[in-house]
Amino acid sequence: MSQSEILTPTYEIGTTSFYESHVRPVVVEFLGTTILVFLVCMFPATSSTIYQSAFVYGFATLFLIVSFGDISGGHFNPAITLGCTVAGALSIPLSVCYFFAQILGGMLGAAFVRAVYPLKIYKTIVGGSTVLNIMQGMKPGWGVMTEALLTFIIVLTFLHSVVDKRSKLAPLSVGVSVAACSFVGAFPTGGSMNPARSLGPAIAFSVYSDYVDDLIWKYHYIYWVGPLAGTLFAALMYRFVLASVNRRIRLL
C-alpha cells in the first residue's frame, strides 16, 4: 500500500483488508513513536548539550518517515495526525487509533529510557521531560505561544510537502523543520511540538523516580494547548491557501 493511499484513504470493500488499512498502520505509529521518544530522551540534554538534542530529534524524524512513511504516513505525533485529519487527509476513526498508539508509544519509549539509565543520570536529565524554563523568566503564556508557533511550522511543512506534493525530499523537509524548531525551542520550552513526546517522559519520570519535580506537571498543559492551537491554525491555512485544488476550500 502506497503512502498516498494512507494519507487519503479511499478503500473499497473487498479491495483492502482491515489489517492492511487499519491494524498495520496503527502498529507502525506505535512502533515509530516508541523509537522516536526513546532516541530523543536518551540523548543527555543537559545545559551544555540541549541544542544538540534538536539534531537527534530531526534525524530520528527523518529516518522514521523514510522507513515507515509508506505504511502509516509517518506521523508519530498527535499534532500531525490532527492536522492531517482537519486537512481531510486522514479518516477520523483511523486518526483516533493513531492518537492512542502514539500516546502509548511515547510512554513505552520513555519507559525504555528509564530502564537503560542509572537513576543518578536519569534524574540529571529529568527523564528527558520537557519543562518550561521558568528559571530564566519564561512565563506560561510565552511557553504556549512558543509551542504553538513551532508546531504550526512543522504541521504546515508536513501537510504541504508530504500530503500535497509527496516529493522524494518531503521526509527531509519535515526532518529539517523538526530539527530547526526544536533547536530554537530548546531554551524556552524544550522544543517538544509533540504531546506524545512530552507526556511519555513526564509519566515515566513521575512513576519510576523517587524525585518528582512539580514543574513537570504544573506547566504540562503547555505541551497540549500550544501544539493544538498551532496545528489547527496550520490545517486551516493549508485548507484555505496552500492545499492542492482537490483539498483547498474555495471562498469564491
**Residue 185: closest CA among 80, 75, 54, 76:** 54
The answer to whether 21 touches 8, Cβ cutoff 8 Å, is no
Angle between helices 24-42 and 92-116 (to 10 degrees): 40
pTM as predicted: 0.88
pLDDT at 22 (0 to 100):
86
Cα dihedral: 185, 189, 190, 191 (round 10): -40
Helix (H, G, I), strand (E, B) or coil at 212: coil
How deeply is 47 buried, as exposed, middle or buried, from its count of CB atoms within 10 A (0-12, 13-18, 19+)? exposed
Q: What is the DSSP string of 206-223?
A: HHH-S---HHHHHTTTHH
User: How far apart are the C-alpha atoms of 124 and 127, rounded to whole Å?
Assistant: 8
The answer to whether 221 touches 209, Cβ cutoff 8 Å, is no
CA angle 16, 22, 24 (to 5 degrees): 95
**Residue 36: closest CA among 128, 158, 132, 155:** 128
Query: What would you report as the CA-atom Rg of the chain, rounded to the nearest whole angstrom?
Result: 18
Residue keyed to cell 505504511: 71
pLDDT at 215 (0 to 100):
74
pLDDT at 45 (0 to 100):
61
pLDDT at 47 (0 to 100):
57
The answer to whether 37 touches 196, Cβ cutoff 8 Å, is yes
pLDDT at 8 (0 to 100):
45
pLDDT at 13 (0 to 100):
37
246: number of Cβ within 10 Å:
8
The answer to whether 103 touches 78, Cβ cutoff 8 Å, is yes
pLDDT tens, per residue, the chain with 252 residues: 555 445 544 333 345 788 888 899 999 999 999 999 999 999 866 656 777 889 999 999 999 999 999 999 999 999 999 999 999 899 999 999 999 999 999 999 999 999 999 888 888 888 888 989 988 889 999 999 999 999 999 999 999 999 887 678 899 999 999 999 999 999 999 999 999 999 999 999 988 656 555 778 889 999 999 999 999 999 999 999 888 777 777 766
User: How far apart are the C-alpha atoms of 68 and 247, rounded to whole Å?
Assistant: 24
User: How far apart are the C-alpha atoms of 143 and 73, rounded to whole Å?
Assistant: 29
Which domains, from first to last, does the chain contain? 3-242 (1.20.1080.10)
The answer to whether 46 touches 56, Cβ cutoff 8 Å, is no
